[in-house]
Structure 1
């Protein structure tokens, strides 16, 4: 593990950019960027276009280590190059810590939750991630209802994979997202916190994780998790909130920083000039940074 990257993630001021849209969410991400589905004719061409989008974001002067601590990548992005360097190397040279999305998507809803699909090639992916100088990983599940057994199963699965990731020398971002539109969201968050705490308290002194959680209904619900000695950092997803709404909610939660995707890229468009693009990205970066470091 790179100790300077660990120090940056643990104590640095800023946020983590989520640039990890994968197969199912890529067309939607491209459409939001002004690239409609009828402008590409194959999956390969689609991923070429999304890499162009990510390259434009990452190479922008607005995407800098003064505001951005890390970036979460899709597997194909890890394997591609930016200006002649593998993406993680380019990010590291820029002072931004690289993470990799390792989950294979969501299973069908059962017991009020969506577990992760099996990750059958996890060991090989982790080997390649180390080869590509990735610092950590990210895995996402979704909680729709305050079903105790369902939430327990989600957290059990996340930590089971998380321990394997730790053993491979990487830092896992455990992401049991609570659907922001679900009824009884606050109740789900209470159950989730207790289940996460059980697992954190069972980790050994050399087993550390990060958490990526929906911004809680009740401010500072996750303070106990943020302060836990086994937690390197707790980051928040925007979850479908607008950037302004997500930022306002984030400001109410001490110690919680952003890891936004849609809220980061919402104002970016393929047809913008470089000046327009960089200005729009800079506005987003500065507002998310402000919400991450300046609390009410």
Structure 2
């Protein structure tokens, strides 16, 4: 484990940029950027275009370690280069800690939740992540209903895989997202917190995780998780909230920082000049950093 990166994740002010849209969500991400599906004729061309978009973001002067402390990458992004360097090395040289999305997407909904699909190649992916100097990983499940058995199953699966990731020398980001439109959102979050705490309390002193959670309906609900000795950092996903709404909700939660995806890049467009692009990205970075650091 990179101790410098660990210290940065624990202690530095800032937020984590999520640049990890995978195959299924890439067309939507490109469309939001102004690149429609008629701009590419196959998957290879699509991934070339999304890497070009991500490269423009990562090389922007607005994307720097003064405010962005980490970035989550899609596997194809890890395997590609930015300005002649593998992406993780490029980010590390900028002072930004690289993470890798390792899940394979969501299973069908059962018991009010969507578990992760099996990750059959996890060991090989972790080996390659270490080769590319990745610091940590991220994996996502989704909770839709306040079903105790379902939520327990999600958290059990997350921690089971997290322990394998820890054994490989990486720090896992555990992401059991609660759907912001759930009618039982607050109850889901109460159950989720208790299930996470059970697992955290069973970890050894050497086992450390990060958590990526939906901004809770009750301010500071996750403070006990943030302060837990086995938790490096707790970050928040935007989850479909607008950037403005996500920022306002984030400000109410002490110690919680952002890990936004759509809310970070929503004002960016392929047709913008570099000056326009950089200004819009800087405005987004400034507002998300402010919400992560300046609490009410």
TM class by shorter chain equals over 0.9
Local SS of the residue matching 1:259: strand
Q: Is 1:262 the equivalent of 2:247?
A: no
Q: Is 1:31 the equivalent of 2:31?
A: yes
Matches within 5 A, 1:1-296: 1-296=1-296
Local SS of the residue matching 2:71: strand
Structure 2 unpaired stretches of 5+: none
Local SS of the residue matching 1:138: strand
Task: Tell me the TM-score normalized by structure 2.
Answer: 1.00
Residue 269 (structure 1) shift: 0.3
RMSD (Å) for aligned C-alpha atoms: 0.3
Task: Tell me the TM-score normalized by structure 1.
Answer: 1.00
Residue 168 (structure 1) shift: 0.1
Using the alignment, how far apart are the partners of 2:280 and 2:58 within structure 1? Answer: 14
Residue 94 (structure 1) shift: 0.2
Using the alignment, how far apart are the partners of 1:139 and 1:277 within structure 2? Answer: 30
Superposed CA offset, 1:156-206 (max 9, x none): 000000000000000000000000001110000000000000000000000
Using the alignment, how far apart are the partners of 1:5 and 1:153 within structure 2? Answer: 31
Residue 286 (structure 1) shift: 0.4
Using the alignment, how far apart are the partners of 2:200 and 2:271 within structure 1? Answer: 46
Local SS of the residue matching 2:198: helix
